[in-house]
Structure 1
């Protein structure tokens, strides 16, 4: 029996995978992530397929860094009631912030789709739109403004 190719990652699948990473605790590796995704989505993706998507790659790297900072003795410390209260307050604040950021993100994605469509109508290519901004040479600006001041130029 041959293995069937996994379906392409769409926005919904990427969102769900990033959600898996957001809630991750314990050891994290691409293989463990692939196992968790297979359990949740019923499809197994390779490390290469997951790493190819910027949101997944970024979420993986952020969580890997976060998990490496938390050493095992710190994870198993007992905490006081005051600390529980502070953590609960922080959790509530972060949940509210997360909700607000999701709304902002959805709005920005909607704006991006509008811009992409309008750019398409004008015949602008992805390569053209991804051209880096020109480098700002602040030193040149300072020198030019000093010359203007010395000459008494206005405005």
Structure 2
């Protein structure tokens, strides 16, 4: 059975993509992240995770405009970090815009259904996990076969 990626794995893969330098392909991403994931993931499994997919597309967009800065090692590390953080900020801005659009759509649909703000802000009901009104499994009723002679 394939190993599922944890949230730490997903975050590490996204950070790797934000700091990516050089040619970017799914196969090279799979090869590079296999060291800290423990197993080589497939491109399909990586591209199904929205955070990784968004980071991949952001790294693809930033690839052609990336410039090599000749600098001492301290400055090159800082430059790489700044580049990674700028890429991550752009991805988060895109995600924020999509969530804002989704919220506005929900707001419009709720208003069309006659819901007001107090109804939407109503807290979720408390769940009593100690008690259940329904039996876990209904009792089976055995029926006798019809048409058989004893």
TM-score range normalised by the length of the shorter chain:
0.3 to 0.5
- More helix by percentage: 1
* Alignment TM-score, normalising by the size of structure 2: 0.47
Instruction: Give 1 or 2 for the bigger CA radius of gyration.
Output: 2
* Alignment TM-score, normalising by the size of structure 1: 0.45
